[in-house]
Amino acid sequence: MFFRIITDSFARQPRRKLLTMAALALGTAIATATLTVALDVGDRLAREFRSLGANLLVTPQADTLPLEIGGVDYRPVESGVFLPETALGKLKTIFWRNNVVGFAPFLDVPVTLTAAKVSGASGSLHTTLIGTWYRRDVTVPNGGGTFSTGVASTNPGWGVEGRWFGDDVAEAVVGANLARRAGVIAGQTLEINAGDASAPLVVTGIISTGGQEDDAILAPLSIAQRLSGKPGQYRRLLVSALTKPEDAFSQRDPRSMSPADFDRWYCSPYISSISRQIQEQLPAVSVRPIRQIAEGEGQILTRVQALMWLVTFAALLAAALAVAATAGTTVLERTVEVGLMKALGARRTLVGAFFLGEQWFMAIVGGLLGYAGGLGLAHVLGQSVFGVSPSTRLILLPIMTTLCTENPPQ
């Protein structure tokens, strides 16, 4: 009899029940889509930000003060402290090693550039040769295999007209400003002089980064090491790592934390905790976050996630109001039926159970339809914003169904 009364109610008022289920499905679909994207937006945006450049700078702890003019370090090559490149594989052994997207060592060498004749003109000028890796395989200790890294990983947004140099070839890319001043074009051979050392380099492309690289020459790290007489060494290291936005807890001094708080901080991918882990693997180094990038990432991630949660709350609230209004109208129209059931001896709890059963049936159907529609909407949002569909979160199915059944029956 209980189920017969409920099914009879659906048969007599199908439009209103379908309207209620449609409101639930629509609200659930929007909430599912926004929550699915919100749960992935941190990692997706963090990876997008990594195309803007590295967010950690590693330098020797006992290095001399830099002498920079126009972003170029003019310290003599023989001054200062250098770091061994053989230890770089240890970066992939830290606790958050999977968050280390890439790293690239750099060695700046003041050089004199002698250009062959181009369009009837020739000349020489002083500039900086920046030695680095474009894409190089690094051996990870303790049987960790190899890891491919370099500026291709740390700075994928750098644009090159032509192609990058080979890491084991006497090639180079020239900054756009320097190429314009010196009349350098791709395919030209440059004679690079640094003191008593020299090296002919074939220009494979023209690079434009908007930074100091536009006025320099980028070449394989081995070339810079040979010209400077510093084999197997570098002066600074850029690390690109996926991090969690900083909060008040991450800014606390680890030395003042309790053991439990320290474990929580150490096991969270804060930029400060990753910096500490890098210092533990590379002794005698100073690790500093590149604040312009790190702080900008944190602010954008926080605001985007807050927007997603606000849209989710608004969608669920709108669905709840629509269902509550429809349910209230239904009760008012069925007062005679309610009175008849009470006159026949039905208790208040039994009468409420009839309406509760209707609500639960509509909530389950609307929640399932909304969840399925939300997955499709999340796929569209992920493809249009990030070019990748977000991961399917099955945990959202019981959550959405439970939220639908939370609408108070009248």
CA dist 101 and 139 (Å) reads 15
Does position 168 have pLDDT exceeding 80, yes or no?
A: yes
Residue 128: pLDDT band by 50, 70, 90 thresholds? very high
Is 366 within 8 Å of 25 (Cβ atoms)?
A: yes
Higher pLDDT, 92 or 310: 92
What are the start-end ranges of the H helices in 206-286?
Answer: 221-228, 259-266, 271-281
Does position 400 have pLDDT exceeding 80, yes or no?
A: no
Does position 84 have pLDDT exceeding 60, yes or no?
A: yes
pLDDT tens, position by position, 71-82: 455 555 555 688
Buried b (16+ CB within 10 A) or exposed e, 373-409: bbbebbbebbeeebeeebeebeebbebbbebbbebeb
195 token code pair: 């003191």
Percent of the chain with pLDDT over 70: 67
Does position 30 have pLDDT exceeding 70, yes or no?
A: yes
Q: How far is CA 390 from CA 34, 47, 302, 304, in A?
A: 11, 14, 19, 16
Residue 119: pLDDT band by 50, 70, 90 thresholds? very low
Residue 294: pLDDT band by 50, 70, 90 thresholds? low
> In whole angstroms, what separates CA 213 from the centre of its chain?
25
pLDDT tens, position by position, 319-357: 777 667 666 666 666 666 666 666 766 666 766 666 666
Residue 246: pLDDT band by 50, 70, 90 thresholds? confident
Most confident of 29-38, 41-50, 70-79, 260-269: 260-269
302 token code pair: 């926080």
Mean pLDDT of the chain: 79
Does position 146 have pLDDT exceeding 90, yes or no?
A: yes
pLDDT at position 117, please? 41
Hunting for tokens 């209980």 — which residue is that? 2
pLDDT at position 398, please? 72
CA dist 76 and 80 (Å) reads 8
Is 42 within 8 Å of 390 (Cβ atoms)?
A: no
125 token code pair: 């000028």
pTM of the shown model: 0.67
pLDDT at position 89, please? 93
Most confident of 36-45, 61-70, 128-137, 375-384: 128-137
Higher pLDDT, 89 or 341: 89
Q: Which residues pair with 192 in a beta bridge?
A: 113, 199
Q: Which residues pair with 123 in a beta bridge?
A: 115
Residue 386: pLDDT band by 50, 70, 90 thresholds? low
Residue 283: pLDDT band by 50, 70, 90 thresholds? confident
Does position 121 have pLDDT exceeding 50, yes or no?
A: no
The string of DSSP codes covering 31-91 is HHHHHHHHHHHHHHHHHHHGGG--SEEEEETTPPPP-EETTEE-S-TTSS--EEGGGGGGG
